[in-house]
Structures are given as C-alpha cells and as structure tokens.
Amino acid sequence: EKVALEVAAGASIAGARALASMKHVGLNVAADPLFTFSYTGVNGGLVILNADDPGAWSSQNEQDNRHIARASKIPMIEPSSPQEAKDFTMLAFELSEQFDRPVIVRITTRIAHSQGIVEMGERKNVPLREFVRNPQKYVMIPAHARPRHKFIEEQFVKLKEYSNKSGINRIEWGNKKRGIITDSVAYQYVKETCPDDSVLKIGMVWPMPDDIIREFAAAVGELYVVEELDPFIEDYVKALGIKAVGKEIIPLLNELTPEIVNQALN
C-alpha cells in the first residue's frame, strides 16, 4: 500500500489523475507518504479509496479511518450508495485539483458489497497537466514544509466553505420533532426505518459543515446521530455545543443494520 500510494502520487505530480485503493489497515501502511503528500498537494487529481471494515469481516481490527482524514488534514467524502460511489469518486478528482489536495473516498463493508442501478453518464477524457519543476512544493524539507502547512490550513478554510455550500451535505426535511444526522450506509438504514423524520446527510465528513449542522440542530426538537463505529460526527456536534444523542443508544461495535437502527430509534 505504501508503494502503491507513492506510485499514484508520482503519477499525480507528473500531471495524471491517479487513484490508490486499499482497506483501512492498508492506509496504516501508507500513512508515511500520506501525511507528506498532504503537504505537497497534487498536480493531477490524487484520490485514495479507503474501505473500512465495521464488523472486522476480513481484517484484524475495526478502526475508523475518518480519524485519519482529520489527522492528515485531508478532505474525506463518503458515498452511501453505488450511484454515489461513482459520482463521489468523480467529484473527488475535481476537488483534488480545485483545492490542490489529495482526497480520501471512504466506503465501508456494506457499501463495497452493495449493488444498484447506476447511471453512467458520458466518459470524459482529462488531458495530462503540465509538470512544472517546483521543489518548494514537492520536496518536503523543513524550510518548504512550514509554508506548505500554512497553505493547507488556508485551503481547509475554503474546503469548509465548500462543505457548507456545495450540496454534498444536505438536509432532507420531514417531521421536525426529531432530526437525525447520519452518513455512509447508516443513512440508508435511517431512511428505511425513520422515513418521516428530518435527516442531515453528511456526504463530506471532513471538513464538517458547521453552518448546516447548526441550522439543522436549531430547527428540530430532538437531535440524534447515527453512525457506524466511533462517535466521530457525534463528538464534533457536541464540540459545537449542541446537545445530541448518539452512542448512548447506537452500538459502538460492529456493523449497523436496519433492525439495530429501528430498535434504537423507534
């Protein structure tokens, strides 16, 4: 995985779009170049497809790699269906080039093994970008790393604005007595078991959309967070000073199912 990511990053620097795919524990192996490529940024779009494994069906742990996005300062988007898996991957390349950042697309076991009708759209050939020699951007000695850190913090502010305004995070209004914030495949379970409730679907899980979260929370009577594994969204919401119910009733371990979500919420 480390070598695969380095090869993909090399292709990106040379001007091609490139994608490296791996499981959550594979991204541990690739963490060394990942954190450095966060500083260098890209030339051609660079996307990392990361598959987490709630339930540890084929892995040695159940780690939640949303934390990796936060730690590495890399934007992360999360599809909740086969259609979104395609659309969000295309979007990830565009975001990568627009903001000069690698982008992580996080899926989980159930998304990886799901099937659905997908509208393909027209194939778009993207030409190679010109390679411009730039050691200050691509060679991360300390003298170059410090200004690049400033750059990615500035880009983070722009990405947060995008997260709030782009529509990738969206509110689906229903009965405002109860509002549910959710992401990934958990969104499908919430829609199936709580069809009348208001839902905030998180498509970009890092950076999180503060403005939309506050708007949603202010408009509903009770606020719940439904997510697999760690209370990543829940902790963020509570850090904003917003009262929410999450892991008090939603299991911390294993995959969620519609039955588990239904029992917890209904």
pLDDT of residue 84: 97
Residue 166's nearest CA partner among 130, 209, 131 is 209
Q: Look at residue 36 in the predicted model and tell me its pLDDT.
A: 96
- The token pair at 191 is 């829609």
C-alpha atoms less than 13 angstroms from C-alpha of 65 in its C-beta half-sphere: 30
The side-by-side arrangement of strands in the sheet containing 103-107 is 18-23, 46-51, 103-107, 76-77, 204-206
- Residue 34 is predicted with a pLDDT of 97
Q: Are 187 and 227 in contact (CB under 8 A)?
A: no
The two tokens of residue 15 are: 């001007």
Distance CA 134, CA 132 (A): 6
H or E segment at 236?
helix 232-239
Output the pTM of the full model. Answer: 0.95
At 124 the pLDDT is: 87
Question: Which parts of the chain have pLDDT scores under 70?
Answer: none
**What does the pLDDT read at residue 46?**
98
SS3 state of residue 77: strand
What pLDDT shows up at residue 191? 97
